[in-house]
Chain A
Amino acid sequence: MGILVVFVLYLIVLAAIGIYCARLNRTLADFVLGGRRLGAWVTALSAQASDMSAWLLIGLPAMAYTNGLAALWAAAGCAMGTAFNWMVVAPRLRRATGEADALTIPDFLAARFAGARGIPVRILAVLVILLAYAAYIAAQFIAAGKTFETAFSNVSTPWGTLKITYHTGMFVGVGIILLYTALGGFLAVAWTDFVQGLLMVATVVVLPIVGLVGLGGFPELWSRLHAANPHLLGVRGAEGATGMAFVMGVVVSQLSWGLGYPGQPHILVRFMALKDPKAMRRAAFIGITWVLLAMWGAIFVGLVGRATLGDLPDTDHVMPSLALGLMPPAVAGVMIAAAIAAMMSTVDSQLLVAASAVEQDIYIRLFGGRARDRRAVWFGRITVVALGAIAIPLAWSGKSVFDKVFDAWGVLAAGIGPVIILGLVSRRANTWGAAAGMLVGGFIAQFWTTVKPLFGGDTLFRNGLIPGFFLNLTVAYLLSLATGGRRRQDTTKET
């Protein structure tokens, strides 16, 4: 019952933020970018909460539970990617999008690579975003359904026993997300993400500390892990991989998560919304500190879970099971709410990015549609709800979550990341290079199953992220040079 009360209160807070922020949306710029008036703390925590998704509280602890300290490779990759984003991409992107008055990532790319009005680059960017987010959003909906189903499988209430099924849980989670995202737009998403970011980091820091104290400290933790499987204390995975299996299958594949960061529009738009560009370094410090605490904490949730809980039938349950085992019911409820928060904070941002791509990039920029002020805000709201409704059938079967996330992350990383970097740091990259690079990178990542024999099958790369990213970068840069670099017309802002 305690868990249910905490959950209901939490959902009411989210809905209230959405309703409050609804009044602040007067123009499309307010709805999709909060009128560029976020402070450093909200920018930092909302960027990180949007980034991490349910993977932080469910997937990463499960990875540490299964593979032990080898999960640190993924944490290191993500932390390096986050630091690169904050220190290199964020300040340049904030300035460039402010100058170009770009509201979306395709808007920025079209303005930066403006040959032929930026149409090829804009279309490709929108395609990559919608394709990847369809899978990404569906994966988060699945996580919502599963978490509700796990948390409320058998809850006693004064009116009888409550049992929430997967599909009911998904509809409850999706309903709340659509409510506050459609009503409150970017400001509601950023502020709810800020709250959710605090909740997430508190959970993954407090839970392993309580678990470690209960165990009696690190020596006992290491002893129990060694007794379960000696490889859990090493850096080579649960089976102690050696040679190429270790280098490519463990080190490179896990570190490669970090390559994906410059290509994630739901993270990048936060950088674009910072009110004072000079506050970016403070926001960077806050965001990077958050990610270090969160990722290393999440790994210790998995390790303490393995030492405390023994064998679990489903490793995805390690965080909720540890919370229910170590904490009073109300606190466990808050921690399980953090898993829902993690999912919500990602999917709300992705829905908004996808809706802004449909409205700003397709309807207004490509088809010359007219949508002003409040009418534009309502168009955006309807688009958010429509995209959410489209993703529900994709999530209906409830099959695996994190494979979809890794694939979608790879498509965005290989399709968009390299041209964002080139657009910000290279003076020579031009329209033709960017369009060809996005086409090659996006294609390889999206159709990896078909093209992987060209790259040695599964021996070298687990998905198309690494080859797609570097081929995009290479093709974009070389073709830009071959076609004369950045010509004068490329610097003209699209109108």
Chain B
Amino acid sequence: MQLPWESLVLLVVPPAAIFALALVHWLRAPGEGQGASDECRGEERAA
């Protein structure tokens, strides 16, 4: 018994894509304790 293709897509693609995004997001971060990350550059201050 096989799954329909759209079920297989919904089962696999969202978690794989979100996991990959989170992994890249983490790996692209400046080292902890090595200066400010993008989010810490003070958008509030700019305003």
Contacts and interface: CB of A to CB of B under 8 A. Distances in A.
Nearest to A69: B7
Interface string B3-47: 110110011001100110111011011101110110110111011
Given A91-B39, A278-B32, A284-B22, A99 B3 contact: no
A220 to B, nearest CB: 8
A284 B26 contact: yes
Contact of B18 (A234, A280, A292): A292
A288 B30 CA distance: 19
The size bracket of the interface on B is 20 to 34
Contacts of B34: 278
Interface string A273-298: 00011111110110011001000100
Given A79-B14, A282-B32, A427-B47, 14 more contacts: A69-B10, A79-B18, A87-B21, A87-B25, A91-B39, A95-B40, A222-B1, A276-B32, A277-B39, A278-B32, A281-B25, A281-B26, A288-B22, A292-B15
Contacts of B46: 427
Interface of B: 1-4, 6-7, 10-11, 14-15, 18-19, 21-23, 25-26, 28-30, 32-34, 36-37, 39-40, 42-44, 46-47
A73 B32 contact: no
B7 A233 contact: yes
Nearest to B9: A235
Given A219-B1, A280-B39, A281-B29, A289 B22 contact: yes
Contact of A234 (B1, B7, B15, B33): B7
A222 B6 CA distance: 15
Nearest to A77: B14
Contacts of A75: 14
Given A76-B10, A92-B39, A296 B15 contact: yes
A276 B2 CA distance: 47
A395 B47 CA distance: 46
A234 B22 contact: no
A72 interface: yes
Interface residues of A, number: 42
B31 to A, nearest CB: 8
Contact of A226 (B1, B21, B23): B1
B40 A91 contact: yes
A96 interface: yes
B7 A76 contact: no
B7 A281 contact: no
21 contacts: A79-B14, A80-B14, A83-B18, A219-B1, A220-B1, A222-B1, A222-B3, A233-B4, A277-B37, A278-B29, A278-B30, A278-B34, A278-B36, A278-B40, A280-B37, A281-B26, A282-B26, A424-B43, A427-B43, A427-B46, A486-B47
